[in-house]
Structure formats: structure tokens, C-alpha cells
Structure 1
Amino acid sequence: MKKNLTFAVAAIVLLAGCVTKGTYNELKDEYQGYRDQAEERERTNQAAISDLEKALADEHTRYDQLAAEQARLESRIEALNAEKAKLLTDKKGLQAAEAEMREALNEMMQRKAQAEARIAEYTNLLQRFKALIDAGKLTVKIIDGQMVVQLATDVLFASGSADLSRGGKDAITEVTTILASIPDRSFQVAGHTDNVPIHSSRYRSNWELAFDRAITVVRTMMDGGMPSPRISATSYGEFRPTASNDTDEGKARNRRIEIIVVPDLSKLPGAEELEKLGGHES
């Protein structure tokens, strides 16, 4: 981008001698606008990358904590085994304690493995979306422990409309190709708006507008190859803002589509027991 802007400046300088001053100033202003846009995209990309790097650092910290806890439990088991040799009269109690510690150790090892898997998944998905992030088409964030792909609706939809623009369809199709290639994952499309009320013949509130937009994205993703059992839609309307609605910039950030990577709760420790208690249907 910077190289292209440099060529643009050179072109302006060469043409300055054969154009009017007004034309020259217009070209100069246009160049400055391109440059400002490029710098703004760079800042947005860096902020998204910083958020992801922080989330990965947090996962590494949790991983280290689990490793330390595993070492402590292993040390405790060794101590119990030594004590077992001395306390033969309390053999039953010692065996029960050892079994409890082994169960705790197994659970801790499961959590450690899950932490490793989350780190690998975040890193992999970040790499898959790197080109789209660098192009300013989307951002990827960690929100409430979930990976979320965010797309500004101003790029996807006209104001007050739930019909995707041509560029919006292309962007959703490109995102779908990446997400559909991730095995054993489901996704939820969430529609968000700013707090400006809408009263049209088609939409009574921002709830309906945001939901229609989410449904449109879901249908486009299905057309792009996403299996229907892996995708769902919801609407938050104006009630889950990501920025203040006091400024135009904040409103623009709140007008968005989020594609949430739904976590697989069946892999959490104790999931089988919870399914039995809840009468899980196979």
C-alpha cells in the first residue's frame, strides 16, 4: 500500500507541471485521504492482533498454572504411596485418598489438554483469517472466552436494509469457506445495531432488523457450503453495544454482524454426568 501511495505521489509531481493548481490540489487531497485510510486500517489491524495476542498470553498463563497444579498433584500421589507403606492399618482410607487424588490429577490433565487445544485453535484461526484482517474486511476477537469474527454491517448492508450488497455477499462467502473447513465446529450469527430507532413498514424495531440481517448471513453461508446443522442465528438489536453510541464512530462499530465459534461443551470435565442428570437424548 505504501509503495502504491509513493507511486501516486510521484505521478502527482510529474503531472503538476501540466495541470491546473486546482486539479493538483484535488489530487493531493485525494492522496492524503488514501494515506489516512491506510493508516486507519493499519491501526485497526494492530488493535485486533493485540487483542488476540493478549488472549493467547492469558491461555498460556492458564496452561502454566495447570502444569504447576499437575506437578503438585503428582508429588502428592508420591507422598501418599510412601505413606501407604507405613500405614497398613489404614489401607482402605489410604486407597480412597489415592483414588481421589488420581481422579483429580486426571481431571487436571484433561484441562491442560483443553488449554493446549484452545491455544492451537486460536492460533490456527488467526492465521486463516490473516489476509482478511490485513485487508480490513473483518476483525477477530476473544469475547467471554469465545472466538468471534466481526464484520461491520455498513459494508454488508445499506441503511435500514437486510439485503446483502454484492461486496457483502463476497465477504460472507469468503468467510464461510474458511469456517466450513474447521471440523466439528458450529457457529452462531448474531445481528447488532446502534441505538437509533427504526420505524419502517418492514421493521418495527432494531430487533427485527438485526435478526433479518443475521438470517440473511446464515442463508448466504448455507449457499456457500456451510451445513445447516452447524449454523444458527440470533439478534441482540441495540442491547449489546461494543462501543458508546454517543459518537458516529461508536454507532458504526455497534452496527455489526458477529459469527461466534460455539464451544464444544461435551468435552468439558463432568459433561457426561450432566447429560445423565438432564436426561440427554442420543
Structure 2
Amino acid sequence: MKKILLLGATAMLVLSSCVSKKQYTDLQAKQKETQDLLNSATVKLNSCLEERASATARAKALEEQVADLRKSNDNLQILSAKGASNVEKTLESIKEKDLKITRLQDAITKKDSVTLALVTSFKREVGINDPDIEVNVEKGVVFISISDKLLFQSGSYNVTSRAKEVLAKVAKVVKAKPDFECMVEGHTDNVPYRKEPLLDNWDLSVKRSTSIIRVLEELGVNPGRLIAAGRSSYVPLVDNDTAENRATNRRTRIVVLPKLDQFYELVEKEMKNLEATGN
């Protein structure tokens, strides 16, 4: 489940399809809010599990007491109607708590299970054995990092035929998961770039992002699920001190995001249910 420098004003003028700073910031905030809620839910869940264990132990002790009392005819009068009622209420409370805990566990694990299935699909389709393509998960979000040598010629934002083969595999998985959105991040090295009409590395990183997005759209991905973003040279993987390192930093990263509102609402609902009952 489980961060992003956004485009400057120049990039927004050049590329009409780029995500706005506010949209990009809102998306980051929503992802952090969901992750915080999941963390809070996990803490709440652990507390509930401890309470359930304690209540179960108390109920077991009461059941043993009831059994002992029923075995002794001399002590049957001790087991009053009120005492029996308390035992039944305790058992019923444990059952209700079990149901709430189960729902909360389902809400927390649903996102992880869907993400795991998505990663498996990408690794199978895209080709995890290719050293220029990496698929991994960070905080519940799937990242596909593709070296620029597979996507573009040096200093260019025109997609190569090899890139289209790779992106066709990415598009296949994305289309099969309609509850996910894709943010395409362009990354450059720190070598200054200027080639009309592009002004700098910001422009180049965003233009490469939109070029990838147009290919994904041509391959049938709903454009309403695509987000264009450029990060210039400001998020390097390694120092830009050698040609090899600069090549490593030149990359495109496809971030596959769950529609956060769905998971947020699901977990929030179960958290409120637990709080309303005092559990």
C-alpha cells in the first residue's frame, strides 16, 4: 500500500496533459492519509485481538465454573439466573467482537492481496528477468521502472519500437485492473538540456511521460486512468558522477496506484464501527 516534485509553470504551458501541482499534491496527501489510516487500523486491530484474548479467557473460566456448579447438586442454587445471563452476554460480546475484527482484517488485507496479485501479473507479463525493467512494491504501491535506453534515443522523447513492445505488456495488465490508476514519471540525469521547444530537463522529463501515456492510450488504456508527471533530475537513484550512473538515473517509472478512496472508505468504515461500540 505502503515524495513527488511537480512540474513548474513552464512545463504546464508546454504540455496540456500534465497533472497540475494541486492534483499531484492531493494524490500524494490522499495516499499518505490512507497509509496513516491503515497504520492506525492495524494498531486498533492489535488492541482488539488482545481484548478478545482476555475476554475469551474470562469466558472460558466462567464456563468452567458453570460446569462445576452444575455437577454439584448442593451448589445449584449459587448459579442464579443473573449469573447465567452474564455468562451468555459475555459469550455474545465475544462473538460480536470477532465479527468486527474479521471485517477490519478484511479491509486491511484486501489492498495488500490485490497489490500482490498485480505485482505477480506484471512480473509475468513484463519480464522480470530483464535487468532494464524492475517491478517492486513500496508501501502498497506497485512501481515499474524502465531504463530510458529501452524507451528513447538519447536526448529524444520519441518512443522506440522496443518500448512499444514493453508498454504493450504493461497495458495488458493495466487494462485488466480497472480499479487502478497509472502515474507515469519521467526522470532525467543532471546534464543540462535545451532543445526547442523544450527549455530544460523539466520539460524533457514531462514530455517523455506524455509520450509514454500516448502509447498506453493507443494500446487501449483508458486515458482517464493516466497521470503525466515529470521529476527532472531531482530524484536520482545514484550520484550523477559517472556515465553509467547517469544512465541509471535516466528512467521512466510507472506508478500503479489503487483508487485510494475505495480503500480509505472501507477501512474508515470499520474503524468507525469499532469506535462506536467502544471496542
Q: Which amino acid in 1 is paired with 2:56?
A: E
Give the distance between the partners of 2:173 and 2:105, measured in 1 at CA.
Answer: 32
Could you say which residue in structure 1 is the equivalent of 2:120? 123
Q: Distance in 2 between matches of 1:272 and 1:109?
A: 12
Contact 1:138 1:149 in 2 (8 A): yes
Structure 1 position 267 matched with structure 2 position 263:
yes
Aligned length: 207
Alpha carbons 1:197, 1:205 under 8 Å: kept: yes
- Distance in 1 (CA, whole Å) between partners of 2:128 and 2:161 is 19
Aligned-partner residue type, residue 53 of structure 2: S
Query: How far is the alpha carbon of 1:271 from its aligned partner?
Result: 4.3
Q: Distance in 2 between matches of 1:152 and 1:219?
A: 18
| Counterpart for residue 143 of structure 1 | 138
TM-score by length of 2: 0.60
Pair 1:178-2:164 in alignment: no
Shift of 1:221: 0.5
Asked if the contact 2:104/2:267 (under 8 Å) is kept, the reply is: no
The verdict on how the C-alpha distance between 1:199 and 1:76 changes in structure 2, with shifts beyond 3 A counting, is: same
Deviation, 1:99, is 6.6
Instruction: Report how far residue 170 of structure 1 moved.
Output: 2.9
Residues in 2 aligned to 1:150 and 1:200: alpha-carbon distance in whole angstroms: 25
Matches within 5 A, 1:125-274: 125-129=122-126, 132-136=127-131, 138-265=133-260, 266-268=262-264, 269-271=266-268
1:150 and 1:133 map into 2 onto residues whose CA distance is 11
- Distance in 2 of aligned mates of 1:236 and 1:222: 21
Could you tell me how far apart the structure 1 residues matched to 2:120 and 2:58 are? 40
Question: How much has 1:195 moved relative to structure 2?
Answer: 1.0
Which ranges in structure 1 are unaligned for 5 or more consecutive residues?
Answer: 1-61, 275-282
> Contact 1:214 / 1:257 at 8 angstroms: preserved in 2?
yes
Percent same amino acid among aligned pairs? Answer: 23
Between the two structures, name the one with larger relative contact order (CA 8 Å, sep ≥ 6). Answer: 2
1:256-277 Cα shifts (integer Å, max 9, x gaps): 1111110232224444699xxx
* Alpha-carbon distance in structure 1 between the residues aligned to 2:185 and 2:166: 16
Return closer, same or farther for 1:180/1:220 CA change in 2, 3 Å cut-off: same
Q: Distance in 1 between matches of 2:189 and 2:195?
A: 16
